[in-house]
A and B are shown apart, each in its own frame.
Chain A
Amino acid sequence: MMVLYCLGLEGTAHSFGAGIVTDEGKVLSNDWDMLKPAQGGIHPREASRHHSDLGPGIIHTALEKAGITYSDIDLIAFSRGPGLGPCLRTTATMARTLALKLDVPLVDVNHCVAHIEIGCLESEFQDPVTVYVSGGNSQVIAYAGGRFRTFGETLDIAIGNMLDVLGRELGMGFPAGPIVEKLAKEGSNYHNLPYSVKGMDLSYSGMLTAAKKLFSKGVPIPDICFSVQETAFGMLAEIAERAIAHTKKQELLLTGGVARNNRLTEILEGVSERHGTKFHRVSPSLAGDQGAMIAWNGILQFKAGRTIGISDSQVLPKWRTDEQDILWRS
């Protein structure tokens, strides 16, 4: 049997990544670069500029590290959405150009679905409840009736975004999550913050406002970080728990950039223990936005017979997790 090589390109937001994965599920390389704005948040135009400037070099490095050349590529997969329009378009343009030039099939990948499937590849989970937490997303997802369905999500801002905005307020750099995590370990006084769970959804904006208020009242930063983490992660644990109780699934998967947080992992491990489910946290190199997950999803779709023509491959900035038929699962 010949091995298939898939090049996956990820560029939905502030990171651009390229990864090479084989149809046997081997990640041969996974290279990326994240735009770190000097101040403020991410500007979509600057991020897309970042991708077009660095993209070709990153793709080249990914090939080199995988030990293959352009002519070895059998398949190109790209993040079609959801994400920031300019970033998606830049990434899609690179993918289309390569597919045309190399004369290989193109596969469109849903970014959120890719996060779940790379987690399943690594954990060997069959059918998990997935907690997907990142700068732009906070969702609890499970497979049902041919699709990945969003059982719960944030009603306003994503957890990573909440941590970044708070971090900016407290004078931290970007991304703020790791700094908040570090400082939280030095905090010990818990300050009450709004805990807002609605069914299987949650809301972080009230908590963010209250946390900013603590800062203006002079509460020490470590205590704020501690209180924010315990409250925000407690809410996530609850909606994960509700999804497990509701779906009766036996596996819990934590993925996305915020999966790197050890306290969140500890809390979700506790949830798993209580419900007797298996638990897996996606390893750091596969947790954030990167190309390997796009490549792996490209393989899954290609094997299920799905490719996309260049003329149909316009980007989908608002592509929801539950809008794609999952052909490779049944």
Chain B
Amino acid sequence: MENIIAQGAESIILKTERWNQPFVLKWRQSKPYLFKDIDLHLRKTRTSRECKMLSVARSLGVSTPAVYAVDLSDYTILMDYIEGTQFKQLASSLPEQQLKQFCFEFGRSIALLHMGDVVHGDPTTSNVIVDSKSKLWLVDFGLSEMNATVEMKGVDLHLIHRALETTHWDLQECMLEATIKGYSDTVGKEANESLSRMKEIRERGRYH
């Protein structure tokens, strides 16, 4: 029995059952409108990258779903089903103190990745799941990378900023501040370098 939980941009997320337990099956389908070499390359590299980075992130202290199986012939990953709600859907209904706490935790998780020279690659509030015990889980590591430079970390932070301003425009200041606090408190002094790069990146690519 498989139910579609979400149709993402590059995959379908199915809830399935194995050994009497719920699991998530993430399936990267073919996109007929892409040139086939690009399509195959993306599906393959992102599937294998995601498996690897979910484990790497966990070893850095970030909660991520465990991977049970990967099939590179049909580009699927079988992983833990996390019972919870997307942070994105939760944010507007939370009391301010709790919202700030979750943002702080989100910033801390990104900091743990960055301290291990890993970037998430798509750090939006859609990719954070809050479980029933108020624990935060990071998911969707298909764009994650290792050996991250200051530039890559700056982009990661810039993406958080952008996600907050587009999706949580009415709460963006409060959320950004708490997230950055969680990030800086965890990374320490070196956070300044990535944070000032974030601001710099925001100014690029603009029509001057």
Taking Cβ atoms with an 8 Å cutoff, the residues of A that contact B are 12, 82-83, 136-137, 142, 144-145, 147, 149-158, 190, 192, 195, 197-201, 230-231, 234, 237-238, 241-242, 244-246, 266-267, 269-271, 273-275, 317-318, 320, 322
Would you give the shortest CB distance from A97 to chain B, in whole angstroms?
25
B143 contact from A150, A197, A241, A273, Cβ within 8 A:
A197
**Residues of the B chain whose Cβ atoms lie less than 8 Å from the Cβ of A157:** 205
> For the complex, is B10 an interface residue (Cβ under 8 Å from A)?
yes
Q: A137-B207, A156-B205, A271-B33 are in contact. Are A199 and B166 (CB under 8 A)?
A: no
- Residues 162-188 of chain B, each 1 if its beta carbon lies under 8 Å from chain A, else 0: 110111011000000000000000000
> For the complex, is B116 an interface residue (Cβ under 8 Å from A)?
no
The answer on a CB contact under 8 Å between A267 and B163 is: no
**Residues of the A chain whose Cβ atoms lie less than 8 Å from the Cβ of B126:** 246
The answer on a CB contact under 8 Å between A241 and B155 is: no
The answer on a CB contact under 8 Å between B163 and A230 is: no
**Residues of the A chain whose Cβ atoms lie less than 8 Å from the Cβ of B155:** 155, 198, 201
CB interface residues, B 81-127, toward A, < 8 Å: 121-124, 126
Q: A198-B121, A199-B121, A199-B123 are in contact. Are A190 and B37 (CB under 8 A)?
A: yes
**Residues of the B chain whose Cβ atoms lie less than 8 Å from the Cβ of A320:** 206
Q: How far is the CA of A242 from the CA of B127 in the complex (A)?
A: 12
**Residues of the B chain whose Cβ atoms lie less than 8 Å from the Cβ of A246:** 9, 124, 126, 167
Q: How far is the CA of A241 from the CA of B29 in the complex (A)?
A: 14
A-B contact pairs, 22 of them (CB 8 A): A145-B170, A149-B165, A151-B162, A153-B205, A155-B155, A157-B205, A190-B35, A190-B38, A198-B121, A198-B159, A199-B124, A199-B163, A200-B159, A230-B38, A242-B10, A245-B7, A246-B9, A246-B167, A267-B33, A267-B34, A318-B207, A322-B165
**Residues of the B chain whose Cβ atoms lie less than 8 Å from the Cβ of A271:** 33
Q: A147-B169, A150-B166, A234-B38 are in contact. Are A155 and B204 (CB under 8 A)?
A: yes
Q: How far is the CA of A147 from the CA of B205 in the complex (A)?
A: 20
**Residues of the B chain whose Cβ atoms lie less than 8 Å from the Cβ of A322:** 165
Nearest A residue to B39, CB-CB: A234
CB interface residues, B 26-72, toward A, < 8 Å: 31-35, 37-38, 41-42
The answer on a CB contact under 8 Å between B35 and A234 is: yes
> For the complex, is B150 an interface residue (Cβ under 8 Å from A)?
no
- Residues 189-208 of chain B, each 1 if its beta carbon lies under 8 Å from chain A, else 0: 00000000000010011111
The answer on a CB contact under 8 Å between B206 and A82 is: yes
Q: A137-B207, A245-B8 are in contact. Are A274 and B38 (CB under 8 A)?
A: no
The answer on a CB contact under 8 Å between B9 and A244 is: yes
Would you give the shortest CB distance from A226 to chain B, in whole angstroms?
9
**Residues of the A chain whose Cβ atoms lie less than 8 Å from the Cβ of B41:** 192, 195
Nearest A residue to B166, CB-CB: A149
Instruction: Report the count of interface residues on B (CB-CB < 8 A).
Output: 35
The answer on a CB contact under 8 Å between A155 and B201 is: yes
Q: A241-B10, A270-B32 are in contact. Are A136 and B207 (CB under 8 A)?
A: yes
**Residues of the A chain whose Cβ atoms lie less than 8 Å from the Cβ of B38:** 190, 195, 230-231, 234
**Residues of the B chain whose Cβ atoms lie less than 8 Å from the Cβ of A155:** 155, 201, 204-205
**Residues of the A chain whose Cβ atoms lie less than 8 Å from the Cβ of B7:** 245, 275
**Residues of the A chain whose Cβ atoms lie less than 8 Å from the Cβ of B32:** 270
Nearest B residue to A230, CB-CB: B35
Q: A144-B169, A155-B201, A244-B9 are in contact. Are A234 and B34 (CB under 8 A)?
A: yes
Would you give the shortest CB distance from B140 to chain A, in whole angstroms?
10
Q: How far is the CA of A274 from the CA of B8 in the complex (A)?
A: 11
The answer on a CB contact under 8 Å between B33 and A145 is: no
The answer on a CB contact under 8 Å between B162 and A199 is: yes
Would you give the shortest CB distance from B27 to chain A, in whole angstroms?
14
Nearest B residue to A85, CB-CB: B208
**Residues of the B chain whose Cβ atoms lie less than 8 Å from the Cβ of A149:** 165-166, 169
Pairs of residues from A and B, 6 with the lowest C-beta to C-beta distance, nearest first: A270-B33, A199-B159, A242-B9, A230-B35, A241-B9, A82-B207
Q: How far is the CA of A68 from the CA of B112 in the complex (A)?
A: 66
Nearest A residue to B35, CB-CB: A230
Would you give the shortest CB distance from B202 to chain A, in whole angstroms?
10
**Residues of the A chain whose Cβ atoms lie less than 8 Å from the Cβ of B121:** 198-199
The answer on a CB contact under 8 Å between B42 and A195 is: yes
Q: How far is the CA of A23 from the CA of B166 in the complex (A)?
A: 31
**Residues of the A chain whose Cβ atoms lie less than 8 Å from the Cβ of B208:** 317-318
- Residues 8-33 of chain B, each 1 if its beta carbon lies under 8 Å from chain A, else 0: 11100000000000000000000111
Q: How far is the CA of A213 from the CA of B8 in the complex (A)?
A: 35
Q: How far is the CA of A271 from the CA of B38 in the complex (A)?
A: 15
**Residues of the A chain whose Cβ atoms lie less than 8 Å from the Cβ of B34:** 230, 234, 237, 267, 270
The answer on a CB contact under 8 Å between A151 and B166 is: yes
Would you give the shortest CB distance from B176 to chain A, in whole angstroms?
15
Nearest A residue to B168, CB-CB: A145
